[in-house]
Structure 1
Amino acid sequence: MGEFDATLGTLIIGIFFNTYLYGLVTYQFAAYCSRKFNDPIHIRAMVWSLFILDTFHSGAAIYMAWSYTVTNYDNPAALAVAEWPYTFTPIGTAAAALVTQLFLGYRIWRLSGSDFLYAVVVVLAIPSFALGMACGIKAWMIQVLSELPQLNNLVSAWLAMQVSIDVFITVTLTIIFVRSKTGYHKTDTVLNRLIRGAIQTGLFAVVFSLGDLVSFLALPTTNLYGMFAIPIGRIYTNTLFDTLLTRDRLKSQMAGTYERKSANEVNWTGASTARNVSNIQLEVNRETTTDAIQLEVHKTVFTERSSFEGDGKTMVL
C-alpha cells in the first residue's frame, strides 16, 4: 500500500461517492420541483432545506479534497488536522437523519394510527440528533485527527442510536405494508414495491452507519471512517426524496386498472359476489387535474371495504 492510501485515499473515495449521491439528490430535487406536487408548505420547506444542506456539505467536501490534494500537495502534515468540512460532517448527517426519520415516523403514524410507534421514533431521533451535534462540535474543538478517539464513547452512542432508529423504521414499515395486502394483484404489486423500497433504503443507511462506527473504533489512525461518514447524509436525503417521488411511480403502476369517477377520485372493483363486494379506492390530490391518478403522501388513501362484513381498513401512503 502507498503511504497515503489509508488516509487520503479512503477519504477521497468517500468524497467521490458522496458527489455521486449528490448528483442523485439533485436529479430527485429537480424531478420533485418539475412535477408540482400539491404538498403543504412544511413538506416543500423540508425538501428545500435538505437540498440546500446537501449542496453546502457536498461543496464543502470537494473543497476539503482540494485543500488536501492541491493546496497542501507538498505538505503531508496537513493530513493530521481535520479540515472544517470534516468536523461538520456529523452535524450535517445528524440534521439530515433527524428530518428523514421524523418524516418516516410521521408516515408510520399515518399508516398505523399508532401514537406509540411515532413516539418511539421521536424519542430516539431527537437524542440521536443531539449526540450527532455534540460529536461535530467536539471534533471541531479537537481538530487533530489523532486525538479523535477521545470521542469513541460519544460516536458509538450516536451511531448505535441512529442504526437502531433506522432498523425500527424499516421493520415497522415492512410489517405495516405486509399486513395491508389485500389479495388483489395490482394493490399487492404496489405494496411489494413499497416493501422493497423500505428495506433497501433502510439497509443502505444501516450499512454505512455500521461501517462508520466499526472503522472509527477499529482503525482510528486512518480516514476509513470518513469514507463511510461523508455520504451518509446524502443517503438519508435520497431516502426521503425517493419516498416523495415514489407517488408518481405508484400512479403509473396503478394506471389502467381504475374507473374514473371525478377529478380526484377513482375506484377499482376487484371482486364481487352475492355476499361480499370489495372495492379498492384511491383518493388523490394534485394541482394537475388532467391526470387520472394522483398520489400525495398526506392525502393518498387506500380503502378496502366489505359490504357483507360491514367493516373497513384504511391505509394512508
Structure 2
Amino acid sequence: MATEAAPLPNVTLVFGPMLIGVFINMILYGVLLGQILTYYKMYQRDAAWMRYFILVLFIIETANTGFDIAFMFQPLILQYGQKPNLFPTVFITQPLCVVLVSTPIQLYFAWRIRSLTKSYWVPITIAVLALASCTGGIWTAAMIHIVQTFANKAKLHNSALVWFLSSCVADILITISLVISLTRRKTGFSGTDSVIDKIIRMTIQTGMLTAVFSILDVVCFMVLPHAAINFIFDLALSKLYTNCLMSTLNSRQKLNIIPGGGASEQRRNTSYGLMPTSPAPRRHPENFEQRQMNGSAMYELETQKAPYDAEVAYGAPAGDEFGIQVTTIIERIEDPIPHPYA
C-alpha cells in the first residue's frame, strides 16, 4: 500500500520575503552598474582616492549580490522540502556587506559636512553613529553564527537595534545638516538659488530613502519576530547606499557645478568706439577666453588697440595715433556653490 508523501513545509513568510529582497538587490545592482560606468566616463579628473573608493564599493556590492544568490539557492534548491530551521550558511555575510558599504559612505558625508559648515559637532556625531552602526552590524553577524536557527531570531534584537537605529539616525542627521547648510548659501539670485534648490531636493530624496528603509527594517524585525518581512528592506540596503552616493556624484554634470569652484555666467561686453578709416580689419577691443585651472573658473582679458585716423574722421589734431574708445563691460559672476558631494 503506497504511503502518502508528507506535505511540504510552508516557507512563505520565511524565504518569500528573502527572495523578494534578493530580486530588489539584483535590480539595484543593475542600476549601480550604469551609475558607475557613467561616473568613470564623466569624472575622469576626480581625485584618485575617490575613484578607488568607488571601485572598492563596487567590488563589495558585486560580492554581496553573489552571496545573496548563494544563500537563497541553498534553502530553495539544495534543501528543497526541508523545514526552515537554520539560517543559510552564507547569510552571515549580509550584515557585514551592509556595514562595509554604509559606514564609509556615512563617514564620507560627515567629512563633506565638515568642509561645508566648518563645524565639528555634527560631523563627529555622524561619525560616532556610523561606527556604532558598523559595530552593531559586526555584532549581528557574530550572533547569527552563534544563534544559527530561525527559532532563536529574537536573540538578534539587541545587536540589530544598535545596527539599524544608529544608521538611521546618522542618515537623518546627514540629510538635515546638508539641507540647512545649502539653504544658508542662497544668495537671492534666481540662477544660483535654483541650483541650490535642486541639490536640496536630491539630498532629501536620497538621504531619506536609506533612512526610511532602515526604519522599516527595524520595525518589521521587532513587530514580526516569526516572519522575515524585514529582509525585503534589509537585502536592498547596501545597494541603496551606493546608488544614492553615485546618483549624487553623477548629478554634478547635470547641475553644471564645478567641484571646488562656482557656477559662472558667461560675460557679455558692449563696446562703443570710433570706426577706423583704415581698410585693415578691426579686431574687437576685448576678447574673453574662459579657461579652467585647478577646478575653478578663470577669465582672462586681452586688450587690443586698433589704429584710427583721428584727423580725417573727426578733425582731431594730426599726430594722434588712436581715437577715443569707450568700453563698457557688463559682468556678472554668481556666488560659488560648493557641491556637497564633490
Relative to the length of structure 1, the TM-score reads 0.80
When residues 3 and 316 of structure 1 are mapped into structure 2, their CA distance, relative to the original with a 3 A threshold, is closer
The aligned runs of 1:47-66 (5 Å cut-off) are 47-66=54-73
Matches of 2:44 and 2:182, distance apart in 1: 24
What is residue 221 of structure 1 aligned with on the other side? 226
* Larger-gyration structure (1/2): 2
- Provide the alpha-carbon RMSD of the alignment: 2.6
What is residue 76 of structure 1 aligned with on the other side? 82
Aligned-partner SS, 2:188: coil
Aligned-partner SS, 1:279: coil
What is residue 334 of structure 2 aligned with on the other side? 280
Matches of 2:89 and 2:98, distance apart in 1: 14
| Aligned partner of 1:159 among 164, 167, 171 | 164
Q: CA deviation at 1:41?
A: 2.5
What is residue 19 of structure 1 aligned with on the other side? 26
* Residue identity in the other structure for 2:48: I
The aligned runs of 1:211-250 (5 Å cut-off) are 211-250=216-255
Aligned-partner SS, 2:334: strand
Matches of 1:301 and 1:207, distance apart in 2: 27
In the alignment, does 2:96 pair up with 1:42?
Answer: no
What is residue 123 of structure 1 aligned with on the other side? 128
In the alignment, does 2:30 pair up with 1:7?
Answer: no
When residues 151 and 30 of structure 1 are mapped into structure 2, their CA distance, relative to the original with a 3 A threshold, is same
Matches of 1:76 and 1:258, distance apart in 2: 69
* Residue identity in the other structure for 1:155: A
When residues 85 and 113 of structure 1 are mapped into structure 2, their CA distance, relative to the original with a 3 A threshold, is same
What is residue 283 of structure 2 aligned with on the other side? none
Q: CA deviation at 1:115?
A: 2.1
Which of the two has greater helix per residue?
Answer: 1
For residues 42-65 of structure 1, the C-alpha deviation after alignment (integer angstroms, 9 at most, x for no partner) is 212210111000000011111222
Q: CA deviation at 1:256?
A: 9.1
The aligned runs of 1:62-141 (5 Å cut-off) are 62-73=69-80, 75-77=81-83, 79-141=84-146
| Contact persistence 1:57–1:85 (CA under 8 A) | no
Matched-pair identity in %? 26
What is residue 286 of structure 1 aligned with on the other side? none
Matches of 2:231 and 2:89, distance apart in 1: 13
What is residue 258 of structure 1 aligned with on the other side? 266
Matches of 2:112 and 2:164, distance apart in 1: 23
For residues 132-160 of structure 1, the C-alpha deviation after alignment (integer angstroms, 9 at most, x for no partner) is 11111211222212212112122112211
What is residue 282 of structure 2 aligned with on the other side? none
Unaligned runs of 5+ in 1: 269-276, 283-299, 303-314
Matches of 2:223 and 2:338, distance apart in 1: 47
What is residue 273 of structure 1 aligned with on the other side? none
Q: CA deviation at 1:80?
A: 2.1
When residues 256 and 107 of structure 1 are mapped into structure 2, their CA distance, relative to the original with a 3 A threshold, is closer
The aligned runs of 1:166-181 (5 Å cut-off) are 166-181=171-186
Aligned-partner SS, 1:224: coil
Aligned-partner SS, 2:333: strand
* Residue identity in the other structure for 1:201: T
Aligned-partner SS, 1:6: helix
| Contact persistence 2:291–2:298 (CA under 8 A) | no
| Contact persistence 1:174–1:198 (CA under 8 A) | yes
Relative to the length of structure 2, the TM-score reads 0.74
**Aligned pair count?**
277
* Residue identity in the other structure for 2:82: P
What is residue 31 of structure 1 aligned with on the other side? 38
For residues 128-186 of structure 1, the C-alpha deviation after alignment (integer angstroms, 9 at most, x for no partner) is 21111111121122221221211212211221111111111101101111111112222
